[in-house]
Amino acid sequence: MTPPLTQFQTDLALALRDGTACAIDPESSGLRFTTMVRRSWCEGRSIEAARAVLALLPPRERHRLVALYVDCGGGVAAFLPTESETLLPFLAQRLPNPSHALTLCKMDRALARARQGAADFVAPTAKPERSILIRGPHAALVWFHADPAAVMAAIGNGPVPPLGPPRQPVLFAPGLPNLFRLASRAEAAFWDSLPAADIRSPVAGQLLRDGAISCLA
Q: pLDDT tens digits, residue range 62-114?
A: 999 999 999 999 999 989 999 999 999 999 999 999 999 999 999 999 999 99
Q: Is the confidence at residue 1, as pLDDT, over 60?
A: no
Report pTM. Answer: 0.84
pLDDT in tens, 188-201: 999 999 998 778 88
pLDDT in tens, 14-70: 555 555 555 566 666 766 777 788 899 999 999 999 999 999 999 999 999 999 999
- The residues, any chain, with a CB within 8 Å of residue 83's CB and separated by 6 or more, are 45, 46, 48, 49, 74, 75, 77
Q: Which amino acid is at 128?
A: P
Give buried/exposed letters for 40-56 (b at 16+ CB in 10 A, else e).
Answer: eebbebbbebbebbbbb
Q: Is the confidence at residue 5, as pLDDT, over 60?
A: no
